[in-house]
Amino acid sequence: MQEFLPPRRLLLGPGPSTVHPRVLSAMSTPLLGHLDPAFLAVMNDIQTLLRQVFATTNRFTIAISGTGSAGMEASIVNLVEPGDTVIVGVNGVFGTRLATVVERCGGKAIRVAAPWGHIIEPEAIEAALQRSGPVKAVALVHAETSTGAWQPIEPVGKLCRTHNTLFIVDAVTSLGGVPVEVDRCGIDVCYSGTQKCLSCPPGLSPFTLSDRALSVIKHRRTPCQSWYLDMALIADYWTERNRAYHHTAPISMLYALREALRLVEEEGLPARYTRHQLNSDALVAGLMALGLTPLPPAGHRLPMLTCVTVPVHIDEAAVRAQLLETFGIEIGGGLGPLKGNVWRVGLMGESCTETNVLTLLNALEEIGIRSGWISSPGVALQAAARTYNRSHH
């Protein structure tokens, strides 16, 4: 069996994103015991840096040992007891998954649906709250990775406060790419993943709980159905006073996350958000010049995940295969009902650069010329260049 050497890839799919050499280097640092005082200091650093990215003062802000889906599961299993009602916004794969987890906990999921690519209108959530009697929580996906839709959350946070309901937000794809303002938007539980805009390998889920949510967890009638994701137990491992052993933390992954968050802090969040928006604008201009239309309407498009409809005369799967085989570029196809109809291009964290936007558009133009669906070469690159030109003036 030979050593595994991965092929060179430009990661422009829906995740994982490119990882900075400093983060890869941090992962190869020698291990410490997970209760070693020096390692506990690393955990403290991570908590401080995560609070900045989440824009929260929540004491309970940690990284769960598991991917973003573990964060989703933890959010629901800790708050939802059998018989509890949860309103879930469903406009893509991940809203659907949230509703499924609620039902597996014995909860009742009230699905407020919108067409894929569209947002859940706050008025629809308000109507559901008014007619549903006592509701334990409202759960929304901030950045729907399957459609590229950017969900407004602030108005829903206000509704949840008015109706004395907890507010759960999935920020797996948005954290570190657009503002996720936990305190300002009245979010009680927010979870993310490390492999998107934080540009860390997959394996941890940044997670934050308000005191309101923590109080609900501590006063449950029944024990949490998951021992591994029971936040009442995990709280004792992440609190600074008397740390109790719960599970062996993934040491190397936490080293990596600390370094990834240091890179975020060095760039500064406002600059990072501006960079994501600018490169997204240039990408969208280029793709539209090639006849590809963004799925979400203007005003509700994510900067870090662009989902475009592929015209029928283009063999979308063949183009993705050519991008990978000839150019070493990965982009994503569609999920569920969008399979075969869309491309999903990720510009997340380290992957979000002007060079990568122009590299992808150039490769698409070359494939399009060879396949006969582009007649005027250079249109995409010119459209992107005009966008960059405007921003530099």
Query: Looking at the domain assignment, is residue 64 inside a domain?
Result: yes
What CATH number is given to the structural domain containing 317? 3.90.1150.10
pLDDT of 244 strictly over 90: no
Same domain, yes or no, for 59 and 149? yes
pLDDT of 238:
83
Query: Looking at the domain assignment, is residue 16 inside a domain?
Result: no
Q: How far apart are CA 359 and CA 379, in angstroms?
A: 14
Backbone angles phi, psi at 347, to 5 degrees: -120, 85
Query: Looking at the domain assignment, is residue 311 inside a domain?
Result: yes
pLDDT of 235:
83
Q: How far apart are CA 264 and CA 199, in angstroms?
A: 9
Same domain, yes or no, for 254 and 285? no
What CATH number is given to the structural domain containing 154? 3.40.640.10
According to DSSP H, which parts of 194-244 are helical? 211-218, 231-238
CB atoms within 10 A of CB 113: 15
- pLDDT tens digits, residue range 97-149? 999 999 999 999 999 999 999 999 999 999 999 999 899 999 999 999 999 99
| 285-302: average pLDDT | 97
Same domain, yes or no, for 180 and 277? no
The average confidence (pLDDT) of the chain is 96
Task: Report residue 17 as tokens.
Answer: 């994103």
- pLDDT tens digits, residue range 35-70? 899 999 999 999 999 999 999 999 999 999 999 999
Same domain, yes or no, for 78 and 193? yes
Which of 29-43, 225-239, 344-358 is the least confident region? 225-239
pLDDT of 180 strictly over 90: yes
Q: DSSP per residue over 162-202, as a string? A: HTT-EEEEE-TTTBTTB---TTTTT-SEEE--SSSTT---S
The structure tokens 């990408």 sit at 283
- pLDDT tens digits, residue range 185-199? 999 999 999 999 999
Number of separate domains in the chain: 2
Query: Looking at the domain assignment, is residue 171 inside a domain?
Result: yes
Same domain, yes or no, for 257 and 273? no
Q: Could you tell me the CA-to-CA distances from 222 to 41, 83, 239, 390 in Å, in that order?
A: 34, 11, 24, 58
pLDDT of 136:
98
Task: Report residue 226 as tokens.
Answer: 């998951």
Query: Looking at the domain assignment, is residue 46 inside a domain?
Result: yes
Cβ atoms of residues 138 and 158 within 8 Å = no
CB atoms within 10 A of CB 91: 24
Same domain, yes or no, for 297 and 252? no
Q: How far apart are CA 200 and CA 327, in angstroms?
A: 24
Question: Which percentage of the chain shows pLDDT scores above 90?
Answer: 94
Which residue range forms the structural domain that includes residue 279? 269-392
Cβ atoms of residues 317 and 338 within 8 Å = no
pLDDT of 224:
96
pLDDT of 122:
98
- pLDDT tens digits, residue range 298-355? 999 999 999 999 999 999 999 999 999 999 999 999 999 999 999 999 999 999 999 9
Which pTM does this prediction carry? 0.97
| 267-288: average pLDDT | 98
